[in-house]
Amino acid sequence: MEHKEYKSINKSVRKKDSMQLLLGKPVYTDDVTPKDALVVKILRSPHANAMVESIDTAAAKKVPGVVDIYTWEDVPQTRFAIAGQTFPEPSPYDRLIIDRHVRFAGDVVAIIAAETEKAALKAMKLIKVKYELLPAVLDFRSALDNPTLVHPEDDWEPPCEVGGDPKRNLVASDDEIHGDVEGIMAQCDIVLERTYHTKAYNQAMMEPFTCYASFDRYGRLHIISSTQIVFHTRRILSRALGIPKSKIRVEKPRIGGGFGAKQTAVCDVYPAFVAMKTGRPAMITYTREESQIAGSPRHEMEITLRMGAMNDGRIRVMDLYTLSNTGAYGEHGPTTVGLTGHKALPLYTGSLEAHRFHYDVVYTNLQAAGAYRGYGATQGIFAVESMVSELAEKLGMDATAIRDMNMIKEGMVMPAYYNEIANACALDRCMEHCRQMFDWEERSKVRDMGNGKIRTAGVAMGMQGSCISNVDVGSATLKLSEDGTYNLIIGAADMGTGCDTILAQMVAELMDCHVDDVAVFGADTDVSPYDSGSYASSTTYITGMAVVKACNELKKQICTIAAGMMDCEEEAVEFASTCVRRTGTEQTVSLTDIAYKAQVGSTVPAETTQTHTSPVSPPPYMVGMVEIELDKLTGKVDILDYMAVVDCGIPINPNLARIQTEGGIVQGIGHTLMENVTYDRNGRPAESSFMQYKVPTRQDMGRLKVEFEHSYEPTGPFGAKSIGEIVINTPGPAIAHAIYRATGKWFRELPITPEQIAMSLAEE
Amino acid sequence: MEIKLKLNGKNIAASVEADTVLLDFLREKGCLSVKRGCDTSNCGLCTVLMDGKPILSCSTLAVRADGHEIHTLEGLQEEASDFVGFIADQGADQCGFCNPGFVMNTIALLRENPDPTDDEIRAFLAGNLCRCSGYDGQLRGIRNYLNSRKA
């Protein structure tokens, strides 16, 4: 394993924006945009499935301050997708800006543009809508081939073939088999078959969806949005509005959290449309309720898993079927589902001889799902890891020992992961490290505390990827300034994760300067080099390599300019931090002089743009262990300690990698114990505010301890893999395992609430 | 309605609608550190100090500030600067959208209890949600600050 000493890499430097953020400076969309914009509000359907028979806006338009109100009759008729994905998107073109056919309780019926919020809300009450109610598909288990079609329209269009058929409510399907699944299943001593269910969790980022649209000095549409995907948003708006991409500019300021929610252009099209219609700046900011009921949450999934193993604990075969609920529109539907198999099954490459992975993704008349940190891997890993723990308990084996026996190890080929090779894998060391740190042997024992409470522990492993292989593109522009400092310009989006900082650390390492001497700007479609955007755990790995390439190229150009200045061959000079030296001599020219030279009669620029993509997506790995205290009377579960050891290759910034891990673990704890999504009779989420949707507070997450095991990924920058998503994947199965050890009951549906636990114990 | 208040040390008079909430009033007055996260008094992002006590400005009418003193983070930059660097050193600022509310409440905590235990910090700040950091980094930052004062 390569492990160099670095000056700026593997160092916990402060985030570049940290003091701005901590001192409350105005850096977010609503802070940096002018206040004179029209307020955009959306009248939403109360019904899950209906046709707008008639809509009367006459009285509403008379409200003083109302500028205009738009209905289905006013919008372009080209269907589009709002998923932020590389073209051609796997997500179907199934939306209109306003559709006469409303497909979930929360779907858009009218767009109101007004001078003030008050006027807009007053007008909203005066719009008279007559609906023709249609039967609704509210249970995703009955969606496939249901006589009620969510998308009966003829102009439904898949940009690429993913096995969908809207006449069956089917968005995507596939079936992949490796090896003799049934033959090996028949040879196994023990075969388990179970079904697991996870909900449509909300990202609940602190800044709700928000977007501002105006016109720039050339009269082009200028979007300032809280988005992870500036380039995809430009493409989406171009199609939805029917205007050329050259007439649109999309930029993001600081983003108040994303977690994948802002990998979908959830709200951007509405102010953009209003701006185009009125010629005036327009702004929308979703309420928390809108963010909860008309956002872009996790795909609800039901996973049926069959696992065949031998009595000694050897796991030989898995057959995993996923039914995924994409809701009323197909954003990210065809792709999230793939990770339930491809980023769960490979954990057991060590012993797995055969596998089958098949799935269906269905439409329902519920809120459309989207991208959420983990992106299907979270759901798949809940199923696979829960079952491995159940197998261990059934066989009387230690749950960490069965994993030691079966897990993926470095150098193995992963048939369930596109036959990629695990070039960097420290999962075995993560397990051993976590076992020691946590004191698994002692703390996994079931201990009756004598007061109605039981303490015990659970374990789970996790993996993810580091980009979408052969798809994601990252780019970096690096410029030398006249004082020898650098500007790094990216199209990736720092949404709080710290990518601006870790990419600057890479520049500092390679250009041998201080991190403070690297200014970072991102992201703006007019200025930034193309980047797919910040998602799929790709920024460190993909954009990071683009930064490495840009540094190497810029060094060459700097040397070319310097060689000209010293009147020698390029081969005769070497880059030396603040200057270029003629090799073997004391003759140097400073970066300042080189930068000025590039500005006078020069054809060699002191700047470069480099691009990177990757044919592989190296998985990071992780082990999580949790100690809980369970109250047998009330069913309440308290997290005492959550410890994790992560292999993300070489962490570029250990502090930021640690915080990512801690934050992901706490989100996972929320999904497992308290964040629920239930629906009323119209399929509207009951958990429509933070009153009902309980995200963990700092009193709900116990004590965290996170450490790292390094591996060195040869295709990543400085040996790095990803960190952003994997961290949410272990709490579900680890906590469910601990609850089993405390109660003897397996809970296969999340969240596991106190009442479910108490009721199951009361049944005894 | 006409109101008079002291905002970040300055006496101001303003005319507000009866139903204007303090959060919107403060943002209009340029105090953009005050953030809206939930509308239901659950997230703590809009925390400001009224007469030195932390309140949620999303659920306080602007007229309630009449005759009172309001501080937002804009007015307490120096006091905040004492400790927020320690949080930055943990990388715990993350997306930052919850930071102003959380920093305001931390100021209130430290004024009331200059030497809190970890559990006292968790309890006092329990109403300040953060979706990014997992909270422990914020706690480590505050703890390091408290330790630095003792050193």
| Enclosing H/E stretch for A309 | strand A300-309
CA closest to B34 among chain A residues: A24
Same domain, residue pair A459 and A526? no
The answer to whether position A218 is within a domain reads: yes
**B126 with A699: Cβ contact below 8 A:** yes
The answer to whether residue A500 neighbours chain B at the CB level (below 8 Å) is no
Give residue B151's pLDDT band: very low, low, confident or very high (50, 70, 90).
Answer: confident
Query: Measured between beta carbons, which residues in chain A are less than 8 angstroms from residue B39?
Result: 287-289, 689
CA closest to A258 among chain B residues: B95
DSSP tally for chain B: helices H, then strands E: 5, 5
Torsion of CA A539, A540, A545, A549, to 10 degrees: 90
**B135 with A698: Cβ contact below 8 A:** yes
State mean pLDDT over A359-367: 98
The answer to whether residue A663 neighbours chain B at the CB level (below 8 Å) is yes
Same domain, residue pair A460 and A582? no
Distance, CA of A27 to CA of A49 (rounded, Å): 40
Of A654, A648, A499, the residue nearest A11 (C-alpha): A654
The answer to whether position A191 is within a domain reads: no
pLDDT in tens, A307-325: 999 999 999 999 999 999 9
Distance, CA of A251 to CA of A176 (rounded, Å): 40
ω before A523 within 30° of 0 (cis)?
Answer: yes
Same domain, residue pair A285 and A317? no
Same domain, residue pair A393 and A474? no
Residue A512 identity: D
**B42 with A255: Cβ contact below 8 A:** no
φ, ψ of residue B90 to 5 degrees: the values are -95, -10
Q: Taken in order A730, A733, A734, A739, is the CA torsion positive or negative?
A: positive
CATH class entry, domain B2-72? alpha beta
Distance from CA of B49 to the nearest CA of A (A): 15
pLDDT in tens, A143-192: 999 999 999 999 999 999 999 999 999 999 999 999 999 999 999 999 99
Strand pairing class (A300-309; A315-327)? antiparallel
Distance, CA of B76 to CA of A235 (rounded, Å): 43
Distance, CA of A275 to CA of A284 (rounded, Å): 11
**A24 with B38: Cβ contact below 8 A:** no
Query: Measured between beta carbons, which residues in chain B are less than 8 angstroms from residue A497?
Result: 94
The pLDDT value given to residue A5: 86
**B88 with A17: Cβ contact below 8 A:** no
Distance from CA of A256 to the nearest CA of B (A): 5
Residue spans per domain, chain B: 2-72, 76-150
The pLDDT value given to residue A4: 73
Same domain, residue pair A354 and A401? yes
Q: How many other C-beta atoms can be found within 10 angstroms of the C-beta atom of residue B150?
A: 6
Strands in A71-164 per DSSP E: 101-102, 108-114, 128-133
Alpha carbon of A17 to those of A110, A481, A572: distances in Å? 38, 21, 40
Distance, CA of A204 to CA of A185 (rounded, Å): 42
Which positions ≥6 away from A719 have C-beta within 8 Å? A2, A3, A424, A649, A650, A710, A711, A712, A713
Same domain, residue pair A389 and A530? no
| Enclosing H/E stretch for A305 | strand A300-309
Of A74, A125, A82, the residue nearest A98 (C-alpha): A74
DSSP letter for A299, please.
P
Residue A117 has pLDDT above 50, yes or no: yes
Give residue A762's pLDDT band: very low, low, confident or very high (50, 70, 90).
Answer: confident
Torsion of CA B70, B75, B78, B81, to 10 degrees: 90
Token output for A372: 């959420």
Same domain, residue pair A283 and A359? no
The answer to whether position A199 is within a domain reads: no
- B95 closest CB neighbour out of A23, A35, A206: A206
**A15 with B88: Cβ contact below 8 A:** yes
Distance, CA of A248 to CA of A245 (rounded, Å): 5
Can you state the angle between helices B77-88 and B99-112, rounded to 10 degrees?
Answer: 110
What residues does B69 pair with on adjacent strands?
A: B6
Cβ distance B80 to A22 under 8 Å?
A: yes
Residue A3 has pLDDT above 80, yes or no: no
DSSP A516-543: GGEEEE--BTTTSPP---S-TT-IIIII
pLDDT in tens, A565-622: 999 999 999 999 999 999 999 999 999 999 999 999 999 999 999 999 999 999 999 9
Alpha carbon of B59 to those of A24, A230, A566, B44, B55: distances in Å? 20, 34, 68, 11, 9
Same domain, residue pair A473 and A605? yes
The answer to whether position A195 is within a domain reads: no
The answer to whether position A190 is within a domain reads: no
CA closest to B39 among chain A residues: A288
Cβ distance A471 to A542 under 8 Å?
A: no
DSSP tally for chain A: helices H, then strands E: 19, 29
φ, ψ of residue A747 to 5 degrees: the values are -105, 120
Q: Which residue has the tokens 């989406």?
A: A236
State mean pLDDT over A278-292: 98
Torsion of CA B127, B131, B135, B141, to 10 degrees: -100
**A206 with B32: Cβ contact below 8 A:** no
pLDDT in tens, A398-419: 999 999 999 999 999 999 999 9
Residue A114 identity: A
CATH number, position A97: 3.90.1170.50
DSSP B67-136: TSEEE-GGGGHHHHHHHHHHHHTTTTTTT-TTHHHHHHHHHHHHHH-SS--HHHHHHHTTTS--SSS-SH
Q: Which domain holds residue A567?
A: 18-26+468-612
Q: How many CA atoms lie within 13 A of A341 on its CB side?
A: 32
- A656 closest CB neighbour out of B81, B91, B99: B91
pLDDT in tens, A672-724: 999 999 999 999 999 999 999 999 999 999 999 999 999 999 999 999 999 99
Query: What is the CATH topology of the domain spanning B76-150?
Result: DNA polymerase; domain 1 (1.10.150)
Residue B74 identity: E
Token output for A436: 């020691």
The pLDDT value given to residue A2: 52
Residue B103 identity: V
State mean pLDDT over A442-469: 98
Strand pairing class (B69-71; A101-102)? unpaired
ipTM for the whole predicted complex goes beyond 0.95: yes
CATH number, position A562: 3.30.365.10
Same domain, residue pair A271 and A318? no
Same domain, residue pair A61 and A79? yes
**A257 with B97: Cβ contact below 8 A:** yes
Same domain, residue pair A461 and A472? no
The pLDDT value given to residue A305: 98
Query: Measured between beta carbons, which residues in chain B are less than 8 angstroms from residue A697?
Result: 126-127, 129, 135
Distance, CA of A432 to CA of A421 (rounded, Å): 22
- B99 closest CB neighbour out of A24, A258, A661: A24
How many domains would you assign to chain A? 3
Scanning A9-162, the segments in alpha helix (DSSP H) are 18-22, 29-32, 58-61, 117-126
CA closest to A21 among chain B residues: B96
The answer to whether position A554 is within a domain reads: yes
Same domain, residue pair A511 and A581? yes
Q: Taken in order A556, A560, A566, A572, is the CA torsion positive or negative?
A: positive
Of A663, A619, A654, the residue nearest A426 (C-alpha): A619
**A497 with B94: Cβ contact below 8 A:** yes
Residue A1 has pLDDT above 70, yes or no: no
State mean pLDDT over A211-226: 98
**B35 with A256: Cβ contact below 8 A:** yes
Residue positions counted in chain A: 764
The answer to whether position A126 is within a domain reads: yes
Cβ distance A59 to A126 under 8 Å?
A: yes
The answer to whether position A163 is within a domain reads: no
Residue positions counted in chain B: 151
Distance, CA of A556 to CA of A554 (rounded, Å): 5
Of A756, A346, A436, A449, the residue nearest A625 (C-alpha): A436
